Structure 1
Amino acid sequence: MSVRDLEPKAMWNNFADLNAVPRPSKKEEKVIQFMVDFGKKLGLETKTDKIGNIIIKKPATPGMEDRQTIIMQSHVDMVHQKNSDKVFDFDTQGIEMKIEGDWVKAEGTTLGADNGIGVASIMAILESTDIAHPAIEAMFTVDEETGMTGAMELDPSNFTGTILLNLDTEDDDELSIGCAGGIDTNTSYVYESISTPAGSKAYRIELRGLMGGHSGMDIDQGRANANKLMNRLMYDSPVKLNIASIDGGSLRNAIPRESTVVLTIAEMDAEAFESYFEMKTEALAEEFASIEKDMKFSIAATDLPTEVVSGADTTKILQAVHATHNGVFRMSPDIEGLVETSSSLARVIVNGGKFITQSLQRSSVESTKWEVANTIKSTYELLGAEVVQSGDYPGWQPNPNSKILKTMEQLYKDMFNEAPQVKACHAGLECGILGKHLPNTDMISFGPTIRQPHSPDERVSISSVQKFWGYLIETLKNIPA
């Protein structure tokens, strides 16, 4: 069976068509054209705004003309992550999908269910001839994953809808009514390079196989951060070492799964260092044994580099990374179980004379967002690094009195004989930004069950998609006047 044979066929076929189109964040030209062609082929009013967001409008079906106009919204870009041994070009290739039990997955890459399932669902509604719905303004935003640029630069004059359905939540029993804001903190430090000392030996150390995941939704799961673990290995070394290069992590909004380091030590210290490596990596594996089942450190002698970071700057780099807060910063005192504020050290690079870090801070409270961001900033300013903070976007303040929430809560109870979980999430949904552009719009977010987004282990539940689809259709029928 292929993905196209799954039910509901209309949604899965649109998802397969979408996943055949390369759609990296900031390189959405192909998927923008794909969506424009889709809307025009249906004979629907279709346009793009100046940033590239696609708007497709469909009139209400007969008998639904008196209902409120709704905005259905999802983003067209996807996170690009792949396993290190997977040969794949996200700029030119479509996603290779497979079915395993109740899950749809990809072959060694991210799947793009985040937020492709939402996009495909809206497409299926737009092309439907037998689904009752009010007037629809479909909003497909660009560049959600690397800065929410599409939402930031949205032209609100294209919309009249008073209810917004965001299809980007990743648990099928959850209705999201709030989310975290965020900011990127990027640092750069010019280190002193020296000629590799005589009598040195070089090692290439690799860390692979960590779970990774979404740096907001999964930040409280206790998963290892490859950048922090590799730094601990070097920081605690009983012998003097010099860093030659570091390449850790990949994307700003993904928990780092891999890191590679080249370092040198005095040749006479080789036996002591190799013994320490075995002891330390065993201790780290034991520390994360219940979570990181596939963690793997490897070490091998490698060619001696001509230059390394000076001893003084090697120490400064290790101290800075060691001092960088990573993980939960504060739990919400108002909403049980909600991470209020966090920081994720996404990228660590030492190469070509520069030490670079990238981290992302998130919070549903603006003041603590800046508190954790400035904690990171201060660490690197003490080092003497240049610090640039950018991409600041607001959170979405929960509204427990939302009318669409009340409608969808009751509908969920009627359909599934249980109450949904009404939550705020620790991720950067676009609703916070969209609410600034569309201040009189009642917003809610929901979706099917997706696991391990932003990692090559991303998967979406087939049965959950069926549940979500039925709920979506009933929601459209029950939009109030």
Structure 2
Amino acid sequence: MNSEIRVLEPKALWNKFADLNAVPRASKKEEEVIVFMKDFGTSLGLETVVDEVGNVIIRKPATPGMEDRKPIVMQSHLDMVHQKNNDTVFDFATQGIEMYVDGDWVRAKGTTLGADNGLGVATIMAILESDSIVHPELEALFTIDEETGMTGAQGLKGGLLKGEILLNLDTEEDDEIGVGCAGGVDVTATRSYAEEETPEFKIGYKITVKGLQGGHSGMDIHKGLGNANKILNRILFDGFENFGLRISEIDGGSLRNAIPRESKAIVAIDAIHKEAFELEIAQVSEVIKEELKTMEPGLNIVLEAIDTPEKIMDLGVQEGFTRALYAAVNGVYRMSADIPDLVETSNNIARVELKDGQIKVACLTRSSVDSSKWDLANTLRATFELTGCEVEFSGDYPGWTPNMESSILKVLDETYEKLNGVKAHVAACHAGLECGILGSNYPDMEMISFGPTIKGAHSPDERASISSTQKYWNFVLEILKSIPVK
């Protein structure tokens, strides 16, 4: 299936992408891809270092005539988001990504594609392997665990890199030059609760919300996409208000940086309400689907009769929890007052787990303004603490402040216009790039971000544009020729 990928242009890049996608590389499980990248560097006879946290650094001297240019770092992350459709049978731990061509797009069969950030990694690999591409002294930096904590970037020590300019290849629109990004913090609410024996004369149901698009919890948070956890909670709240619905289990969402596509609950109601409850759920479902029909045409809410669950959660805790989840901020909290159309602060209610007397709600709060990030984090903390939860903040990372006067921005701006006849869009983004973290240990390094067009990142609809990748590749080659002198 991946053979059709290997004949795409530029072949050097797509072949490296196919090689990379044969290697399992989930966040926090990068052992195989670290070995893969280390072996790649040593096979080329290049200096290759694996630091103490698992980042891989490969160094290549300048090509003849480029020795007087500023040394550069080309950086991408090795890990990818693992998401699959509910009906896709696939083992990310053992299988390589199955790719195919669909018009101008490369897609994966029922899973995430790994173009985020695999196309960046493959670009750097192709340059390292080439004996004809012109470039200055080069350090390739392949970080780990970008998607679930950025611990690779956080663990990279100062002094390891000698480059003066960093090219981050993790932007997902080919006409965009990234000069800044949001920081973030994980907000996690937990509590225990007493379980009760389910009373007699109750019947069981499973409620499933599925068919949503999902997407990147930074880049897509402003689009009005459905959040399966919030939709399910709305249904549970309605069911309790009208029929005394009792909750046994909830399992919703997956990764913090992915907008939840699916969520399900096991519940119980009095048997006497069976017909009225089923009618009510059908009506509420249609209302929600009508609200979201433009952005979420595939939304499906399924009510299925099952065996009555043996246990249900304490009534008082259930009331407080469903109200807290209803009140918790999800989506855009504040737009930037300084940069047009930029989301400043947002939250993604990413994961909800309720079972066996334990509740856990995992959120990712992002902002390009640190004070606003903590304002929203504390808003969420207060919301969940009101219902007896303990709230923990973790994984805090800084944003990346734009430098509109940098020499590398001027190079990219002029090069893009020369190649394409129009100006690129210079912008900050709401995603969490590693530049802000790397800059804390390398404050004098100029940084810039760009990449090919990728749609649907962090979801099984992830796809990479073939024509855009060719355009981007030409851009990369011209940039390497145009790095300023020392």
**TM-score w.r.t. structure 1 length?**
0.99
What pairs up with 1:435-474 in 2 under 5 angstroms? Answer: 435-474=439-478
The residue that corresponds to 2:412 in the other structure is: 408
What pairs up with 1:113-192 in 2 under 5 angstroms? Answer: 113-192=115-194
1:318-353 CA-partner distances (Å, limit 9, x unpaired): 111101100000000000000000000001111010
1:228-262 CA-partner distances (Å, limit 9, x unpaired): 00000111221111101000001111000001111
1:140-185 CA-partner distances (Å, limit 9, x unpaired): 0000001000000002222111000000000000000000000001
Q: In 2, Cα distance between the equivalents of 1:407 and 1:39?
A: 28
Corresponding residue SS for 2:246: strand
The residue that corresponds to 1:382 in the other structure is: 386
Is the CA contact (8 Å cut-off) linking 2:207 and 2:266 kept in structure 1?
Answer: yes
Corresponding residue SS for 1:156: coil
Answering whether residue 210 of structure 2 is matched by residue 232 of structure 1, we say no
Give the AA of the match of 2:329.
H
Corresponding residue SS for 2:110: coil
Q: In 2, Cα distance between the equivalents of 1:347 and 1:27?
A: 20
Q: In 2, Cα distance between the equivalents of 1:186 and 1:456?
A: 26
The list of structure 1 runs, each at least 4 consecutive aligned residues, that deviate by more than 4 angstroms after superposition, is none
What pairs up with 1:243-262 in 2 under 5 angstroms? Answer: 243-262=247-266
Is the CA contact (8 Å cut-off) linking 1:24 and 1:79 kept in structure 2?
Answer: yes
Give the AA of the match of 2:177.
L
Is the CA contact (8 Å cut-off) linking 2:195 and 2:356 kept in structure 1?
Answer: no
The residue that corresponds to 1:208 in the other structure is: 210
Give the AA of the match of 2:465.
S
Give the AA of the match of 2:6.
R
Answering whether residue 338 of structure 2 is matched by residue 334 of structure 1, we say yes
Corresponding residue SS for 1:158: coil
Q: How far apart are residue 197 of structure 1 and its match? A: 1.1
1:113-138 CA-partner distances (Å, limit 9, x unpaired): 00000000000000011111000000
Corresponding residue SS for 2:234: helix
The residue that corresponds to 1:295 in the other structure is: 299
Q: How many residues align?
A: 481
Is the CA contact (8 Å cut-off) linking 2:247 and 2:268 kept in structure 1?
Answer: yes
Is the CA contact (8 Å cut-off) linking 2:185 and 2:395 kept in structure 1?
Answer: yes
Corresponding residue SS for 1:116: helix
Q: In 2, Cα distance between the equivalents of 1:316 and 1:88?
A: 38
The residue that corresponds to 1:13 in the other structure is: 15
Is the CA contact (8 Å cut-off) linking 1:241 and 1:311 kept in structure 2?
Answer: no
1:477 is matched with which residue: 472, 477, 481? Answer: 481
Is the CA contact (8 Å cut-off) linking 1:208 and 1:295 kept in structure 2?
Answer: yes
Answering whether residue 321 of structure 2 is matched by residue 317 of structure 1, we say yes
2:364 is matched with which residue: 343, 346, 360? Answer: 360
Q: In 1, Cα distance between the equivalents of 2:160 and 2:122?
A: 21
1:423-481 CA-partner distances (Å, limit 9, x unpaired): 00001000000111111101000000000100000000000000000000000000010
Corresponding residue SS for 1:418: coil
List runs of 5+ in structure 1 lacking aligned partners.
none
Is the CA contact (8 Å cut-off) linking 2:192 and 2:357 kept in structure 1?
Answer: yes
Sequence identity (%): 57
1:39 is matched with which residue: 28, 41, 49? Answer: 41
1:206-227 CA-partner distances (Å, limit 9, x unpaired): 1111010000000000000000
The residue that corresponds to 2:423 in the other structure is: 419
The residue that corresponds to 1:346 in the other structure is: 350
Give the AA of the match of 1:134.
P
Q: In 2, Cα distance between the equivalents of 1:318 and 1:414?
A: 55
The residue that corresponds to 2:288 in the other structure is: 284
Give the AA of the match of 1:415.
L
Segment drifting more, 185-194 vs 3-12: 185-194
Give the AA of the match of 1:430.
E
Is the CA contact (8 Å cut-off) linking 2:70 and 2:136 kept in structure 1?
Answer: yes
Corresponding residue SS for 1:236: helix
Give the AA of the match of 1:376.
L
Q: How far apart are residue 22 of structure 1 and its match? A: 0.3
The residue that corresponds to 1:58 in the other structure is: 60
Corresponding residue SS for 1:232: helix
Corresponding residue SS for 1:5: coil
Give the AA of the match of 1:385.
C
The residue that corresponds to 2:103 in the other structure is: 101
Q: In 2, Cα distance between the equivalents of 1:149 and 1:362?
A: 17
Give the AA of the match of 1:206.
T
Q: In 2, Cα distance between the equivalents of 1:25 and 1:66?
A: 38
Segment drifting more, 159-168 vs 85-94: 85-94
The residue that corresponds to 2:195 in the other structure is: 193
Answering whether residue 276 of structure 2 is matched by residue 272 of structure 1, we say yes
Segment drifting more, 308-317 vs 323-332: 308-317
Give the AA of the match of 1:414.
K
Corresponding residue SS for 2:243: coil
1:374-428 CA-partner distances (Å, limit 9, x unpaired): 1111111111111111000000001111110011101111110000000000010
Q: In 1, Cα distance between the equivalents of 2:38 and 2:198?
A: 56
Give the AA of the match of 2:72.
I
Corresponding residue SS for 2:6: helix
Corresponding residue SS for 1:383: coil
The residue that corresponds to 2:222 in the other structure is: 220
List runs of 5+ in structure 2 lacking aligned partners.
none
Q: In 2, Cα distance between the equivalents of 1:317 and 1:203?
A: 20
Segment drifting more, 149-158 vs 365-374: 149-158
Q: In 1, Cα distance between the equivalents of 2:28 and 2:269?
A: 41
Q: In 2, Cα distance between the equivalents of 1:215 and 1:301?
A: 33
Q: How far apart are residue 310 of structure 1 and its match? A: 2.2
Q: In 1, Cα distance between the equivalents of 2:333 and 2:310?
A: 41
Q: In 2, Cα distance between the equivalents of 1:398 and 1:54?
A: 27
Give the AA of the match of 2:303.
I
Q: How far apart are residue 311 of structure 1 and its match? A: 2.0
Give the AA of the match of 1:173.
D
Corresponding residue SS for 2:386: helix
Answering whether residue 424 of structure 2 is matched by residue 433 of structure 1, we say no
Q: In 1, Cα distance between the equivalents of 2:203 and 2:366?
A: 41
Q: In 2, Cα distance between the equivalents of 1:290 and 1:320?
A: 28
